[in-house]
Amino acid sequence: MGENMNIFNRVIPWFIPTKEDQNKWYKDELLENPKEVNRLVKEFSEISEIYNAKLGEFEARLTKDYELYELYLNVRALAQKTNFVWNRIEYKNKSEGDLKKMLSDLNY
């Protein structure tokens, strides 16, 4: 068993990141974060625009006919996408604060 463990250790190198590695990763993430948030805000706006148009169409048609199943499914899917993208924006903003804290902890 001990011999097999030595082979395993040689085949799979174990990498222990240094403070410098972590510092670089956190800084890279912080540089990317505003771009990602901007992209997500744009995506959120685009989905919201489609959602609002579909919702208006749904409300208008609701008074005229009852074959709204497909439209209802589109509206529901867009509501879920909007919620998902908004949650990503919130996560990215929180992540930025966390990364800044981790960077400051590394540089104490």
pLDDT in tens, 57-93: 877 777 676 666 777 778 889 999 999 999 999 999 9
CATH number for the segment(s) 17-106: 1.10.287
pLDDT tens per residue across span 14-51: 778 788 888 899 899 889 989 999 999 999 999 999 99
pLDDT at 9 over 60: no
DSSP state at residue 66: S
For the whole model, what pTM was predicted? 0.49
CB 57 within 8 A of CB 75: no
Q: Report the chain's terminal Cα–Cα distance, integer Å.
A: 43
Structure-token pair, residue 23: 């510092």
